[in-house]
């Protein structure tokens, strides 16, 4: 069983930065694509960023391109989301997700099987 634990959320002013971390307990981390999703109040959960199992490819939703960077450290079983130039519309609960299949690319339409509990990010104007 894979457990994902997010951290790093909080309150930040518009224009500021945060770095989210997601630690995985699973032995399959190094062969699993990973992603960050987010869900704003009253909205559906949406894909924010994804990364291939080996870090060779990354994907972003248009609204975060150029501001967010997803990365991973397979030696630490951890995936990160560096968020810069934050906007009030980035306010959401951010979830880490893992693909249960091996060697995935981290696309937004991947069927992610494992999910963290979420971490709140609030951006004030």
DSSP string covering 43-105: S--EEEEEE-TTSS-EEE-GGGTTTEEEEEETTTTEEEEEE-S--GGG-EEEEEEEEEEET--
C-alpha neighbours within 13 Å on the C-beta side of residue 106: 29
* 111 or 19: which leads in pLDDT: 19
Answer for the pair 60, 49: CB distance below 8 angstroms, yes or no. Answer: yes
Res 39 pLDDT > 90: yes
- DSSP, res 109: T
For the chain, what is the mean pLDDT?
A: 96
Of the listed ranges 3-12, 40-49, 103-112, the one predicted with least confidence: 103-112
Share of the chain above pLDDT 90, in %: 93
As a whole number, mean pLDDT of residues 27-33 equals 92
* Helix or strand holding residue 16 (H, E): none
Answer for the pair 92, 122: CB distance below 8 angstroms, yes or no. Answer: no
What is the reported pLDDT for 113? 94
> pLDDT by residue (tens digit) across 46-99?
999 999 999 999 999 999 999 999 999 999 999 999 999 999 999 999 999 999
C-alpha neighbours within 13 Å on the C-beta side of residue 79: 35
Res 26 pLDDT > 80: no
Res 27 pLDDT > 90: no
Angle of CA points 76, 115, 56, to nearest 5°: 50
């Amino acid at each position: 069983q894979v457990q994902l634990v997010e951290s790093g959320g909080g309150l930040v002013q518009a224009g500021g930065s945060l770095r989210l971390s997601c630690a995985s307990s699973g032995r399959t981390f190094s062969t699993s694509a990973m992603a960050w999703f987010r869900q704003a109040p009253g909205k559906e959960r949406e894909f924010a960023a994804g990364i291939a199992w080996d870090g060779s490819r990354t994907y972003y939703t248009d609204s975060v391109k150029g501001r967010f960077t997803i990365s991973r450290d397979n030696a630490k079983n951890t995936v990160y989301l560096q968020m810069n130039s934050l906007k009030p519309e980035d306010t959401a609960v951010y979830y880490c997700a893992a693909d249960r299949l091996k060697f995935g690319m981290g696309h937004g339409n991947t069927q992610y099987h494992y999910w963290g509990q979420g971490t709140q990010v609030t951006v004030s104007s």
